[in-house]
Amino acid sequence: MNSIVYRQADVSDLALLVRSRVDFMNSFWGDTYSHKEPELAAHLAAYFMKHLVSGDYVSFLAFCGEEFAGVGGMHIREMPGGYRNMTGRVGYIMNMFTVPAYRRKGICKAILDQLIATGKQAGIHLFELHATADGEKVYPQTGFKLHNEPTYRLFIENQ
């Protein structure tokens, strides 16, 4: 097997970013929302284009030879500051996905390390994420701790 090579994504990777996010969503939700895949893909393409260009979305890709193996991203957002994060800048880790054949090879952790290093260089001192059951094993290895703050959501379904 070839070694894993990592590189930062740019707008030329738009189709791959969209496809990997759709694959992640399908693996998470099953075929529950598959009828919405074209609409989701269009929204994702617009999101990635806008935020890659503005620099508030950073993504790293993993390849084994020419084959795509994994991806991870970080949306940089700014909120009002607080005592532990005066600037209010937050690196929200998202879109962490490893192709099933490449799981358990350290790809997620390597991408996560690169995202955190990039965030630190940008002056970010707070990183957060929502984890899937599979991801819950990886994040504590990098220093993430489960935060004891409930998350509430309200989804308004579009028709």
Say which DSSP state 114 is in.
Answer: H
Residue 50 has a pLDDT of 97
Residue found under tokens 């390849």: 63
CA 64/CA 4 separation, integer angstroms: 5
Pairing state of beta strands 126-129 and 89-98? Answer: parallel
Residue 1 predicted with pLDDT over 70:
no
Q: State pTM to two decimals.
A: 0.90
pLDDT tens by residue, 65-123: 999 999 999 999 999 999 999 999 999 999 999 999 999 999 999 999 999 999 999 99
* Beta bridge partner(s), residue 130: none
pLDDT tens by residue, 5-32: 999 999 999 999 999 999 988 888 888 7
Q: What are phi and psi of 80, to 5 degrees?
A: -60, 140
CA 157/CA 155 separation, integer angstroms: 6
Please, what are the domains in the chain? 4-142 (3.40.630.30)
CA 135/CA 133 separation, integer angstroms: 6
pLDDT tens by residue, 47-62: 999 999 999 999 999 9
Residue found under tokens 């509430």: 152
